[in-house]
Amino acid sequence: MIHGHQHFDSGQVIYHQGAGRSFAAVVQSGAVKLVQDEQVVGLALPGDYIGLGCLYESVQIETAIALERSRVCLLHSESELGQHAESVRLLAKEMQQKRWLTRIQQKPARARVCAWLIQISEHHKSRGLSQDRFRLPLNRTDLASYLGLALETVSRLLTGLHNDGLIELHGREITILDRTALSAESTAA
């Protein structure tokens, strides 16, 4: 399924919403935000797939933008991808991530932020990285857009989690200090 590799600098558009050409890839390093109609709708970290919408749409359904220097592994065109059983599994994973975002936006603001921090932590753990110390891949503006919150709310909540001793925060560097409490808050209704 591999077609090649490509690097993108921070802020560089990987593909545009509405573009007719297919672009499916696996993020190998860095981070990529997915934007649909000016709202952040997804975050792709190493090991995540982007552009799989080409399997069921004739155009790209979102814009993909590198958040930092990123390397992606390009996959074959949608006609070739459709012949691989693995494509169905990958598409199901992408849809699961979109359903997670829909569910999380039903929760109170603090629970949304906690759930997102737990999700990023689990992603790092699955990649063999530290689940308790990592760099936030989204800045506060993008995080607010992604979670459907105001920028001020996100800033206030991150500061509150820091003040409550659940996390330590220095810029975008985070340390989870109380995973149990953070997990409990992430499930609040």
Cα 31–38–41 angle (5° rounding)? 50
Helices (H), the chain: 78-81, 85-104, 109-126, 140-147, 151-163, 179-186
Contacting residues for 78 by C-beta, under 8 A, at least 6 apart? 22, 24, 54, 55
Q: Any idea what the CATH number is for the domain that residue 95 is in?
A: 2.60.120.10
Residue with tokens 């063999």: 128
Q: At what angle do helices 109-126 and 151-163 cross, to 10 degrees?
A: 70
Q: Any idea what the CATH number is for the domain that residue 118 is in?
A: 1.10.10.10
Q: Does 57 lie in the same domain as 80?
A: yes
Q: Does 13 lie in the same domain as 66?
A: yes
Q: Does 50 lie in the same domain as 29?
A: yes
Q: Does 75 lie in the same domain as 10?
A: yes
For the chain, counts of helices (H) and of strands (E): 6, 11
Neighbours of 88 (CB within 10 A): 12
Domain end among 82, 100, 118: 100
Phi first, then psi, for residue 62 (nearest 5°) are: -150, 170
Structure tokens at 51: 């552009």
Q: Does 112 lie in the same domain as 84?
A: no
pLDDT of residue 149: 93
Structure tokens at 122: 């689990």
Question: Is residue 66 a contact partner of residue 10, using CB atoms and an 8 Å limit?
Answer: yes
pLDDT (tens, 9 = 90+) of the chain, 189 residues, equals: 556 789 999 999 999 988 876 678 889 999 999 998 888 888 899 988 888 776 666 778 889 999 999 999 887 655 445 555 565 556 556 655 665 566 677 789 999 999 999 989 988 998 899 999 999 989 999 999 889 899 999 999 999 999 999 999 998 999 999 999 999 998 876
pLDDT of residue 98: 63
Q: Does 84 lie in the same domain as 56?
A: yes
pLDDT of residue 75: 76
Question: Is residue 52 a contact partner of residue 87, using CB atoms and an 8 Å limit?
Answer: yes
Domain end among 76, 100, 124: 100
pTM over 0.85: no
Segments forming the whole domain that contains residue 76: 2-100
Residue 40 DSSP one-character state: E
Q: Does 95 lie in the same domain as 24?
A: yes
Q: Does 76 lie in the same domain as 146?
A: no
Q: Does 75 lie in the same domain as 136?
A: no
Structure tokens at 84: 């691989």
Residue with tokens 């749409």: 57
Cα–Cα distance list, 35 to 32, 80, 138, 183 (Å)? 10, 26, 12, 27
Q: Does 121 lie in the same domain as 88?
A: no
Considering its fold, how many domains does the chain have in total? 2
Domain end among 100, 116, 135: 100
Q: Does 172 lie in the same domain as 113?
A: yes
